[in-house]
Amino acid sequence: MAQEIIRTEYSEIMQKSFIDYSMSVILARAVPDVRDGLKPVQRRTLYDMYELKVDYNKPYKKSARIVGDTMGKYHPHGDSSIYEALVVMSQDFKKSLPLVDGHGNFGSIEGDGAAAMRYTEARLAKVTQEVYLGDLDKNVVDFVPNYDETEKEPEVLPVRVPNLLINGSDGIAVGMVTSIPQHNLGEVIDGVIAYMKNPDINTAQMLEIIQGPDFPTGGIVTNKDDLLEIYSTGVGKIKIRGKAEIEKIKGGKEQIVISEIPYPMIGANIGKFLNDIYQLVESKKTNDITDISNQSSKDGMRIIVELRKGADAQNVLNLLYKKTRLEDTFGVNMLAVADGKPETLGIVPIIRHHVNFQYEISTRKYTHLLGKEQDKKEIQEGLIKACDVIDLIIEILRGSKDVKQAKACLVDGVTAGIKFKSNASKVAAEQLRFTDRQAQAILDMRLHRLIGLEIEALKAEYDDTLAKIAKYTKILGSKAEMAKVIIKDLQSIKKEYARERRTVIDNVEEAVVEEKPIEVIDVAVLIDRFAYARVIDMPTFERNKEAAETESKKIVFCKNIDKICLFTNNGDMHTIKVLSLPFGKFRDKGQPIDTAEKGSKIDLTKENLLLADSMANIITKKLIFGTKQAMIKVVDGSEFDVSRKLIAATKVNDGDEVICVKVLGENDTVVMRSAKDMFLRIDGASIPEKKKTAVGVRGMKLANGDEITDIYVLNEGDNVEVKVKDKTVALNRLHVGSRDTKGVKK
């Protein structure tokens, strides 16, 4: 068979393929439908449970059976996504209205995962069965083929409440994200009723009914005034605080009791919140917290923060709001699939789509019910008519050879071949004109239906059928009548399933933390050879001076409110606040200096620390920089008065390395020593002052293969001796030469 090569632009194929993939993810995986508020995996799982008849009043069924059946029939995307959807739909701390009744370990609010699906069981919640799936047998929604066209699945579930608002949704698609908060069932139903009575209702009027989000974890929404903009556009940020109270305990102390948390905190973020409080204590942001304990149980959330006697409890609480996730933000992006395409919707458009959907499914429901009642009416009329001529019908049945002959007589009056007792009976039989369905019902009728009371019951059923036909016809003939039925249905759902609002909606001022003045003291910063740093006060240092000098690689004397500057061999300067380092006893372990401050990029396992000093001292001095390739310069310390945590302290040529950063005094001399034991002593004043961005000048001429190994700064009167092979060289006795000369061999 001949093959044809189609030449096309590669970018066009990529663009089309990517768009197709994106829409598939959006419509078939990540974004909910505005009509039922469900993602495909949720819809398919609930429908499969409906098919399996895992009803709320029947025994639980293994989750593995539900997941396997769903995956095999409707959702061939792996069992983990199906089980995760099943678990989330059962968690009352994630969903305002749980749709699945789980039995077993279905996880916890603190982030514990659910047990494996083979250990847990589930069934439909009552509300799901009655409100979400109740009308599926009434032809109210279209059914579409499943992935391999061996089964049929509903395109959408006939949900009678706006599930998109009640249970919210979150999901990440390609290039877009949906994040919809939960709302109170009773308020949302009232909002739907208000819209049905006044389709011109605006967002401000709707927010008088639906106050705002109602998270299952409670909490306090603090930016009420922003909600109008958020619910008009469908996009914005909702600020949420946990609910906390200050309680007095014995000993004149107080404690903060957190009973509700912001919704974004659920899961692993509770543990992070506790760790953040611990870090506040460790970093000396507060000294008022003495203990933290999580006493939460199945009865509710209870986190205790104990305070020292005399602490300002309100100030500590404000600090928790400011520095931890006790106050958090919920990003709103109300994206849903509407009319087959993704769209960001405000609250009124969401309700409009829902109401239109309710009119559609109600029209189909009552059309279906009307058809059934009309079929029933036809049969009932036939049976009542048959009761009036029952003797003739019995005579026809007894005289017929088979059912086919008897049915032909009942429908068309065909009497040929039937034996009658009299000619009059034959003539009467020829007048019969039952419909085909009436005739079949007569043939199927049992003799006990001929009892007088049964006949009366049949006539009562017929009257009831006529009443229903009139009722359904009236509903289908008037939108106003249909609206009354929908509203009545919503009110009954609200009466049975609504609950009190959990989340408080208010305008709350931003938490203000009163910073207590720090007592300024003289301290010593000790940095050991493992790059662990700690801070001790001067009396402690004086008592342990000898041990401190022996064990420490660098010691910096400064104030506790100072910064220390760390110069390394790659030409960088790192700054760290002394307050970020642990303050304590001499024998405390300390903290790795690279983890002292968030965002610090120092790594003393890869960089060699050349100078550590306080910024207060550095900026008043002049520093000399020297490299292996004999490049030297002097930099005024004021250039290092910066707020950034990392700057380039000097420029370094490729292949070169800084080996010296030292303070240079006014009358100091500088001695350079090379690997080949060449020494050059020069006057410090002969070294030019440069900017920190400069490379510097050559300090000493080096022979091929030689490099600078040490640079010494000598003060007046210093007597410094160094070993050169088997002899000692007194550096202060070296002749003071000129910069950029070879020096002398020793």
Of the candidates 260, 337, 32, 23, the one whose C-alpha atom is nearest the C-alpha of residue 168 is 32
Which of these, 225, 231, 242, 325, lies nearest to 277 by C-alpha position? 325
CB 153 within 8 Å of CB 144? yes
Residues paired with residue 672 on neighbouring β-strands, in sequence order:
680, 711
- Torsions phi, psi for 376 (to 5 deg): -65, -40
Cα 338 from Cα 6, distance rounded (Å): 37
What CA–CA distance (Å, rounded) separates 242 from 259? 8
How far apart (Å, rounded) are the C-alpha atoms in residues 302 and 422?
A: 92
Q: Exposed (0-12), middle (13-18) or buried (19+): which is 745, by Cβ within 10 Å?
A: exposed
Please say whether the beta carbons of 62 and 121 come within 8 A: yes
- Quick one: tokens of 427? 């003539």
Q: How many helices (H) and strands (E) does the chain have?
A: 21, 36
DSSP for residue 518: P
Asked whether 289 and 307 are in contact (CB, 8 A), the reply is yes
For residue 435, the Cα-to-chain-centroid distance in whole angstroms is 63
Question: Using CA atoms, how far apart are residues 39 and 741, in angstroms rounded to an integer?
Answer: 79
Tell me the residue ranges of DSSP E strands in 167-222: 169-172, 177-180, 220-221
SS3 of 348-377: the string is HHHHHHHHHHHHHHHHHHHHHHHHHHHHHH
Active-site option among 21, 119, 147, 278: 119
312 and 157 in contact (C-beta within 8 Å)? Answer: no
Q: Which residue, among 231, 226, 262, 258, has the nearest Cα to 245 in the 3D structure?
A: 258
Alpha-carbon torsion angle 462, 465, 469, 474, nearest 10: 110
Q: Which residues contact 248 (CB under 8 A, 6 or more apart)?
A: 254
Q: What is the residue whose two structure tokens read 């039922």?
A: 36
Q: Nearest Cα to 630, choosing from 666, 689, 673?
A: 673
**Catalytic-residue membership of 119:** yes
- Does residue 638 contact residue 677 with C-beta atoms inside 8 Å? no
3-state helix, strand, coil in the chain (%, to 5): 40, 25, 35
Give 427-491 as a 3 state SS string: HHHHCCCCCHHHHHHHHHCCHHHHCHHHHHHHHHHHHHHHHHHHHHHHHHHCHHHHHHHHHHHHH
d(CA 9, CA 213): 49
CB 567 within 8 A of CB 573: yes
Give the Cα separation of 61 and 52 in Å (integer).
Answer: 9
- State the pairing for strand pair 504-505/220-221: parallel
Residues 6 or more apart whose Cβ sits within 8 Å of residue 520: 559, 560, 561
Which residues are part of the catalytic machinery?
119
